Amino acid sequence: MVSDVVEWSLTATCAVVFALVIFFYAKKWKKSEGVGVDLLPSPKKLPIIGNLHLVSDPPFRSFRDLSQQYGPIMHLKLGGVDAVVVSSPEIAKEILKDNDPVYTNRPESIALKIFWYNYINIAFSPYGGYWKQMRKICTLELLSPKSVRSFGSIRKDEVSRLVDSVRLSAGETINLTQKVFSMTSSVTCRAAFGKVCRDKDSLIKLVKQGLDMGAGSSIADTFPSSVIAHALSWRTKRRLMKMRRKLDVILDGIIREHETNRKDSGRGNGEFGNEDLVDVLLRVMESGELEFPIGYDNIKAVLFDMFAGGTETSSSTIDWAMTELVRNPQVMAKAQAEIRQVVKERGGDGVEEEDVQKLKYLRLVIMETLRLHPQGSILARVPREARRISGYNIPVNVIVVVNVWAIHRDPKHWLDPESFKPERFANEDIIGSDFRYLPFGNGKRMCPGITFGWASVALPLAQLLYNFNWELPAGVDAQALNMLETSGLTTSRIQNLFLVATHYQP
């Protein structure tokens, strides 16, 4: 109690000192403000906070509103951070493709640094040899089409559990968001940790906190070069360190058990006696053949990456798809008719992975879901060199933000952009080739988990639509559903989805 009072008054004193220092330096800051970006269109800035007052959660919505006034490339001063916000496919291409090797670093934040072991994971590691090495290991061992196919039985098993649990609650209101999240996290857990998949719930909690806080959670992220702001962030840092210690305990346990089992049985810990991702990482660590040697922290950072990348993105995409489908019953009926026809033609009683390839309309439904609800609503990059972009000189000390969410809804590029119309993709498969559509990013840092992610979305969605007819609970109006997003590293719906399922009899 006494220590809390002391800590609080220390914080208050620091806050006053901080405000005075900021006031004192405000003029100096104004002069040096935005060197290299000051020619860009920009809203008027206030002292100290710059344009922070114009940005609310989720930031991509505010950025879109501002870009309608200031154009497709603009400068925002967000506290002590210079951000260049890009909202057109043409300029996105300049950043992500034409200048790809330059725009390959990611912004930093205190939460990312602490949670992801000082950026020795894949997603936040600076561009270079180490990043290439770790990305290659994961791409080959967990995320390749062959590996993804080999996890088919795990997916099938977990999706059957999901269907069974919905069936048990048929006719009642269920929290579909929670059920789907639990299914995708089990798939990732079993694929990455094999038989030693435990403490899943605690891990999930930490992943969610990491993803929520990763986008910037403290005053030190807003004023990164201020020593005082860093001092004032001690409470957040202490909380993050506490969470990191919990993460360490879980991941250390998983790694230790893998090591013991490997020694005792001479076999991998994968569910079929094969190697899982932890085994592979341990093997390459022990081989001593890596150009950039790795230790336990590297393994833990990458495991947390896979868990974070593989869980919330897929479950949230299924959640958005189901939300859009209950709001657009004619689309739901068309998707169900296709799935039920394909299963009937095969003479089956449920969807198998081989059916999914034939579900052309379901593919369009997923593409349209990712257009309106991209998981990476914002792609943030830090340039490694100054470059001219769209006629402006963009220096190294800025964060360049590609507003994917805004590009995906721009009426200049999409007909009736706010409507959910899967048919718009009927004649074009544009993933990776068209800068109007960036659900998996683009360039060297594009998502390496597309095949894994797609499989984790398509089969569960097909099974949910095949086995059940879906309705909103009595009295809930589909058009009144809250379609706002959370802000964080992924983009979930702000509210859980509650639906009533009735069993489909073929």
Contacting range for ligand HEM; rule: CB under 6 A; set: 83-91, 221-229, 438-446, 478-486: 438-446
Half-sphere exposure (CA, 13 Å, Cβ side) for 225? 9
Please tell me whether residue 381 adopts helix, strand or coil conformation.
strand
Residue with Cβ nearer ligand HEM (82 or 100) = 100
Phi-psi region of 273 (alpha: psi -120 to 50; beta: other; left: phi over 0): left
Q: Is 123 in the site for ligand HEM (CB under 6 A)?
A: yes
Give CA separation, 91 vs 405, 415, 489, in Å: 15, 21, 22
Q: Is 464 in the site for ligand HEM (CB under 6 A)?
A: no
Q: Is 270 in the site for ligand HEM (CB under 6 A)?
A: no
Calpha distance 397→314 (Å, rounded): 33
Q: Is 211 in the site for ligand HEM (CB under 6 A)?
A: no
Q: Is 313 in the site for ligand HEM (CB under 6 A)?
A: yes
How many CB atoms are closer than 10 A to CB 494? 13
Q: Is 442 in the site for ligand HEM (CB under 6 A)?
A: yes
Please tell me whether residue 175 adopts helix, strand or coil conformation.
strand
User: Do residues 339 and 403 lie in contact, with contact meaning Cβ atoms separated by under 8 Å?
Assistant: no
Q: Is 410 in the site for ligand HEM (CB under 6 A)?
A: no
Contacting range for ligand HEM; rule: CB under 6 A; set: 57-65, 159-167, 204-212, 433-441: 433-441
Contacting range for ligand HEM; rule: CB under 6 A; set: 224-232, 356-364, 411-419, 448-456: 448-456
Residue with Cβ nearer ligand HEM (123 or 322) = 123
User: Do residues 139 and 444 lie in contact, with contact meaning Cβ atoms separated by under 8 Å?
Assistant: no
Number of residues that bind ligand HEM (CB under 6 A): 27
From 94, 305, 324, 355, residue interacting with ligand HEM (rule: CB under 6 A):
305
Q: How, if at all, do strands 468-471 and 498-503 pair?
A: antiparallel
Calpha distance 100→261 (Å, rounded): 43
Q: Give the tokens for residue 162.
A: 């999901």
From 14, 49, 170, 446, residue interacting with ligand HEM (rule: CB under 6 A):
446
From 155, 179, 445, 493, residue interacting with ligand HEM (rule: CB under 6 A):
445
Q: Is 309 in the site for ligand HEM (CB under 6 A)?
A: yes
From 452, 466, 468, 470, residue interacting with ligand HEM (rule: CB under 6 A):
452
Q: Is 457 in the site for ligand HEM (CB under 6 A)?
A: yes
Q: Give the tokens for residue 151.
A: 């996890």
Q: Is 460 in the site for ligand HEM (CB under 6 A)?
A: no
Give me the least distance between CB of 404 and ligand HEM, in Å please: 7
DSSP state, residue 95: I
Residue with Cβ nearer ligand HEM (179 or 381) = 381
Q: How, if at all, do strands 392-394 and 387-389 pair?
A: antiparallel
Residue with Cβ nearer ligand HEM (151 or 470) = 151
Q: Is 186 in the site for ligand HEM (CB under 6 A)?
A: no
User: Do residues 184 and 310 lie in contact, with contact meaning Cβ atoms separated by under 8 Å?
Assistant: yes
Calpha distance 438→442 (Å, rounded): 7
From 217, 315, 317, 336, residue interacting with ligand HEM (rule: CB under 6 A):
317
Residue with Cβ nearer ligand HEM (51 or 375) = 375
The terminus-to-terminus CA distance of the chain in angstroms comes to 64
Please tell me whether residue 50 adopts helix, strand or coil conformation.
strand
Contacting range for ligand HEM; rule: CB under 6 A; set: 28-36, 196-204, 307-315, 390-398: 307-315
φ, ψ for residue 175, nearest 5 deg: -90, 95
Residue with Cβ nearer ligand HEM (217 or 490) = 490
Q: How, if at all, do strands 81-86 and 73-78 pair?
A: antiparallel
Residue with Cβ nearer ligand HEM (207 or 282) = 207
Calpha distance 335→364 (Å, rounded): 10
From 298, 314, 323, 467, residue interacting with ligand HEM (rule: CB under 6 A):
314
From 236, 298, 375, 491, residue interacting with ligand HEM (rule: CB under 6 A):
375
Residue with Cβ nearer ligand HEM (97 or 235) = 97
Calpha distance 495→483 (Å, rounded): 8
Query: What strand order describes the sheet that includes 173-175?
Result: 173-175, 498-503, 468-471
Contacting positions for ligand HEM (CB under 6 A) = 122-123, 135, 143, 305-306, 309-310, 313-314, 317, 375-376, 379, 439-443, 445-449, 452-453, 457
